[in-house]
Structure 1
Amino acid sequence: MEIKKTQILLVEDDKSLGQTISELLQINDYEVIWCENGLEAFRYLEEHLPDIIVCDLMMPVMSGEELFLKVRNFKRFNQVPFIIITADMTFDSKIKQLQNGVNDFINKPFKIQELILKIKNFLKYKDDLIKTNQDPLSKVTIKIRKNDFFDKLNAILLKNIQSDISIDRIAIEMFVSKSTLDKKIRLHKKMNISSYIREFKINYAIKMIEAGESRVDFLASECGFNSLSYFSTCFKNYTGIPPKDYIKRLRVTL
């Protein structure tokens, strides 16, 4: 029986680069579908579901950002990782893509090993999520509902990332009671709602650091922490090290 290869949808308008990436991915035993703009890719996605999408940001006809936003309107693509390739190194551009919800981005120029490792890591994470369903027939509805719940919750938290939104307000926007909100988070995340909000904010700060931000006071403010010391304490409790040390360590690894 032939083993189905992992399918990668590559969207790249530069023919030379697209050909190179496509060939190198194929050498690494991936099936590659290469489209030269976002519109061509979107038409392909209307009838196909790849395992992962690797897409250039700046393209004619339809940009990578436009394609991503269109794709995320369809729930069937919720578990398809989306990696943006970009030559735009500005902080604002990176933050905008992270706020949109892209899973990751890779800066041009890059080495193919970096892209392959990111692809492998995302696919492993995706497989691990699927394996959590021991009985896919009986639990598929529960799984979809859980994803919808946390997608909506995360969208509310992201929209209010700079504010200290109350649990009562979140419950109202989720159309559930405060107790139901807390119970569902405890059931699926093994923590209370306050801890979930705090970790969401810290993860947002980490994404900002990875995008190039190094001012701890700015990170605290952008993530809705009124106290710099409290932000630093929460960050250390979550990562094991203070934010300044995390930033320094990340710089060394880059």
Structure 2
Amino acid sequence: MKTKIVLIEDDSTLGLAILEILALNGFDVKWFETGSEAVFYFKENTCDLIISDFMMSIMNGEELFFKLHKQLKQNSIPFIIITGNVDKNLKYKQLENGVNDYITKPFNTKELIFKIRNLLDFKKNILKKLTPDPFSKVTIKLSEKDFITALNEILIKNIKSKIDLNELSKKLFISKSTLDKKIRKHTNKNISQYIREFKLQYAIKLINNGEKNIQFLVVETGFNSFSYFSTSFKSYTGMTAREYIKSLKY
């Protein structure tokens, strides 16, 4: 799939020239002559890199950058400013704003292509680090084991802390909603209920193994408070933790 570039240039002659240069170098280019057209385009579309002229009527390159930055709610799309203004202070201001690169007209074709490729490679490397390898040992491990077993392994390793559901879904490489659906499918419980009962089952195992200190159980199972642990324990077993301990014959 070709790399998608959005070009905003109000000079039709220069815009056509840049369009041809990029196309010859294997890029899929969408060209707009005004910033407002680009803003409308990005309401339902995206791209891999943006190139914009600075001096344009109605909306200049700086205004466009800020508008798209706010609209896209992220800064993951590299943004290059092209301008005939040689004022260094203007250049420094754009870079300070967050623009990724700045090219002064007239520019060399090779310079433009090199800068584009460098930014795209940098973005690719960043995304690669943030995206799980589908063939990693962790993923293979999950594919070989039962979902609940994999889930329980993560829960037991984090038993003393409050489980972050977003982090839990990331470790299982699924969305939070999918995690909830899978748990409901396998256990007929929602995420919160399953985690709470998992912690209580662990507390019961500790008691069965001789633990009698209730405060220790609260800390060891990662409950927020003594009262929440006590209420949850009684709701789950039908008796308080103290009553449960007394019912056992050590």
TM bracket, shorter-chain basis: 0.5 to 0.7
Code of the aligned partner of 1:138: K
CA distance in 1, matches of 2:72, 2:29: 23
1:15-54 superposed matches below 5 A: 15-54=12-51
Equivalent position of 1:102 in the other structure: 99
**Which contiguous aligned blocks of 4+ residues in structure 1 show a shift greater than 4 angstroms?**
none
Code of the aligned partner of 1:5: K
1:133, CA displacement in angstroms? 2.4
Code of the aligned partner of 1:105: Y
CA distance in 1, matches of 2:13, 2:113: 19
- Structure 1 portions without partners, runs of 5+: 142-254
Code of the aligned partner of 1:41: A
Deviation readout 1:44-92 (Å, 9 max, x if unpaired): 1111111000000000121111100111114554210000001111122
TM-score, normalised via structure 1 length:
0.51
CA distance in 1, matches of 2:107, 2:46: 26
**Secondary structure, aligned partner of 1:118:** helix
1:122 aligns with 2:119: yes
Give aligned pairs, total: 138
CA distance in 1, matches of 2:38, 2:72: 17
1:45-194 superposed matches below 5 A: 45-135=42-132, 138=170
Code of the aligned partner of 2:64: L
CA distance in 2, matches of 1:24, 1:98: 25
Which has the larger Rg? Answer: 2
Supply the RMSD in Å over aligned alpha carbons: 1.9
Code of the aligned partner of 1:125: F
State whether residues 49 and 77 of structure 1, in contact with CA within 8 Å, keep that contact through their aligned partners in structure 2: no
CA distance in 1, matches of 2:73, 2:94: 21
CA distance in 2, matches of 1:77, 1:112: 29
TM-score, normalised via structure 2 length:
0.52
1:100, CA displacement in angstroms? 1.1
